[in-house]
Amino acid sequence: MNLDWLDAFLIFGAFKVVEIMGLGLLVHLQLGLTRVANFGVVGFWGVGLYAFGVAHLKVDWPFGDPYQFLVCAAIATVAAAAAGLVVGWLISELDDDGTLVGTLGFATIVVILATTQQGLTGGALGLGGLGFPYDFGRVKTHEFTWLLITTAVVALIFVYAWRVHRTPHGRLLIAVGANEALARSLGKSATAARLRMMTVTSGAMGLLGAMHGVMVRSLEINSLDVGVTLAALAALILGGTARVFGAVVGVLLTVALFDIVIQFYLPIPDGWNTQALPVAREAVFGAAIVLMLIFRPQGLLGQMRRPALMRRLHGDW
Amino acid sequence: MVGIAGDSSVTPAVAVRGLSSGYGSVAVLHEVDFTVGHEIFAVLGANGAGKTTLLATLAGLLPAFSGSIAYHGTDVTNLAASESARLGVGYVPQEAAVFPDLSVLENFTVGGMIGTRPHEERLEEVFETFPDLRDKLHLRAGNLSGGESRMVACGRALMQDPNVLLLDEPTAGLSPLYLQLFFEKIADIHRTRGMSIVLTEQNATQALAIADRVMVLSLGVGSEPMLADAVTTDLLREGYQI
């Protein structure tokens, strides 16, 4: 495959867009449907990234790629899902403020562990040596293929989120998010529904973390940055927390705008890419959250249920 | 129709003995006693009397500090609300009684997540009781009027196929037109579906018109239950402290 026309940095920019879109879709299920204010997205993503990296680099597997990748990615997914289950259980009795602080605290613990457990993680220096689970000969081909694979995974997450809206489990999640006390009187366990959602979505966040590890081919403590959570939340709040397309539209207007359009297609001065742009990016994302919450809290796409959509969903009724 | 009042040989649908309950460590209800048979049982009282606390405790949403609650002879004291629902208790709170982000039909379907009868059959029964809702199925429940919201909340509880229906001030804030209609619906539900109904109300006149028996709650203390016909103005004045 001749990819000379494609800038390697553009591939990585597109990868970030796709990755944040996946996280945004998962946060949509947590915050938009179930009203679990997860401010520790980077924690679950980081558990996946580091579980994958440590399993890949520190265990002497009797087989090579792609099986090694598949096993390590499965470990990352299960580790993040287990973290989601435990954190979900710990915050199950807390209000919104407690949930926010609890998930943020979890992310902080992950960062501290990744920094201090140097024997496993490499600490602040990190670990190199991760690679793509295939060999086509050229790095750019590897990266582009990985972008396509990650896009496919995020597409599956989109389909899953789309389906959840149309299932009894999804309706129960919406009910739990809107009024937990009333939902408990429906005869279903609100806690179990919430834990199931936290487990599945956290596991998927972990898988995206593992896929990030492959793309950057190393474990770097700097990657466990609050910017991951901020980008996913800003995009979702801008697009609309309650809508599946909210994350898609939001990411295109935030991450894609900064990491692709501005970075590659605007004539900005040299040096801005590494210094001014990242700072401006986070400032704009933060401002977007504040402004949207004040002026249009339901986001650009608006409410979850509209008559036209409901007629389609209800079918014969 | 009073099924068991005064008949100790029949297991009551609801038996409440010495029930105390409240919020945190603050007791709102104080040793309330009553039984409910196959009837409409109205709990009357002024604001702050403890009516909502009583129904939330019966639904399993608030803990009982002491005393007991039994449904059809099964002790459910401090059982989780979801378990009480599975035993056949339907609950319609006074406020925030619908799921606003779900459509009307979805509110019904989440209500019908338990129970064994075919979903369509139960939906048809709800439409028979509330025919006006047939045209509003696709609407977001949060966009409905107050009266329509109450109908949806009631329909959602009926989808659970309850044998005991707890209605917390179902007519609060409704216009006179809806108020009359709603009391007629409650009487109709009891008559056609044969379920026991525990109803809290401030509107004593209307409640007495459809209830079989009545208990007046005053500052968390319940009166001796009595036939609705036997309630006097003086007794109500005493209960409402006016």
This model of the complex carries an ipTM of: 0.84
Rg (CA), chain A: 20
- The answer to whether A231 touches A285, Cβ cutoff 8 Å, is yes
pLDDT above 70 coverage of chain B, percent: 94
Q: Indicate if the alpha-carbon torsion angle A176, A179, A185, A186 is positive or negative.
A: negative
Cβ within 8 Å, pair A185-B61: yes
pLDDT recorded at residue A82: 98
pLDDT recorded at residue B239: 66
Q: Which of A128, A297, A148, A141 is nearest to A219 (CA)?
A: A128
Range with the largest mean pLDDT of A67-76, A174-183, A255-264, B86-95? A67-76
Pull the structure tokens for residue A209.
């973390």
Q: What angle do CA A264, A266, A271 make, to 5 degrees?
A: 75
Interface test with A, best of B92, B94, B106 (most A CBs within 10 A): B106
Residue B7: is its pLDDT beyond 80? no
Q: Mean pLDDT across chain A, nearest whole number? A: 90
Residues in chain B with CB shorter than 8 Å from the CB of A179 are: 96, 99
Range with the largest mean pLDDT of A50-54, A242-246, B126-130, B187-191? A50-54
**Per-position b or e across A286-296, b if 16+ CB within 10 A of its CB:** eebbeebeeee
Residue A70: is its pLDDT beyond 70? yes
Pairing state of beta strands B213-218 and B226-227?
Answer: antiparallel
- The answer to whether A241 touches A32, Cβ cutoff 8 Å, is yes
Residue-wise pLDDT tens digits, A175-214? 999 998 899 998 889 999 999 999 999 999 999 999 999 9
Is the model more confident about A98 or about A304?
A98
Classify burial at B17, counting beta carbons within 10 Å of its beta carbon; exposed 0-12, middle 13-18, buried 19 or more.
Answer: middle
pLDDT recorded at residue B178: 78
Residue B47: is its pLDDT beyond 70? yes
Residue B111, C-beta contacts closer than 8 angstroms, at least 6 positions apart: A186, B155, B156, B157, B158, B159, B160
Calpha distance A216→A256 (Å, rounded):
19
Specify the CATH number of the domain B14-240: 3.40.50.300
Residue A313: is its pLDDT beyond 80? no
Q: Which domains does chain A have, with CATH numbers?
A: 8-314 (1.10.3470)
pLDDT above 90 coverage of chain B, percent: 50
pLDDT recorded at residue A238: 93
Q: Tell me how many residue pairs between chain A and chain B have CB atoms under 8 A apart.
A: 96
pLDDT recorded at residue A200: 97
Calpha distance B2→B20 (Å, rounded):
26
pLDDT recorded at residue B1: 45
Residue-wise pLDDT tens digits, B10-37? 789 999 999 999 998 899 999 999 999 9
Q: Which amino acid is at B67?
A: G
Residue A6, C-beta contacts closer than 8 angstroms, at least 6 positions apart: A140, A144
pLDDT recorded at residue B204: 84
Residue-wise pLDDT tens digits, B132-147? 888 888 888 998 888 8
Q: Which amino acid is at B160?
A: Q
- The answer to whether A269 touches A14, Cβ cutoff 8 Å, is no
What pLDDT band is residue B9 in, cutting at 50, 70 and 90? low
Cβ within 8 Å, pair A187-B96: no
Q: What is the mean pLDDT of residues A6-29?
A: 92
Q: Where are the domains of chain B?
A: 14-240
Residue-wise pLDDT tens digits, A236-293? 999 999 899 999 999 999 988 888 888 778 887 777 777 788 888 889 889 999 999 9
pLDDT above 70 coverage of chain A, percent: 95
Which chain B residue's Cα is nearest to A171? B110
What pLDDT band is residue B171 in, cutting at 50, 70 and 90? confident
Cβ within 8 Å, pair B101-A187: no
Cβ within 8 Å, pair A307-B139: yes
Helices (H) and strands (E) in chain B, counts: 8, 11
Residue B123, C-beta contacts closer than 8 angstroms, at least 6 positions apart: B108, B112, B159
pLDDT recorded at residue A109: 96
Cβ within 8 Å, pair A186-B109: no
Which chain A residue's Cα is nearest to B142? A305
Pull the structure tokens for residue A148.
């396509």
Q: What is the mean pLDDT of residues A4-26?
A: 89
A130 — phi, psi (to 5°)? Answer: -75, 155
- Given the structure tokens 């105390």, which residue do they identify? B20
Q: Which of A222, A218, A223, A237 is nearest to A286 (CA)?
A: A237
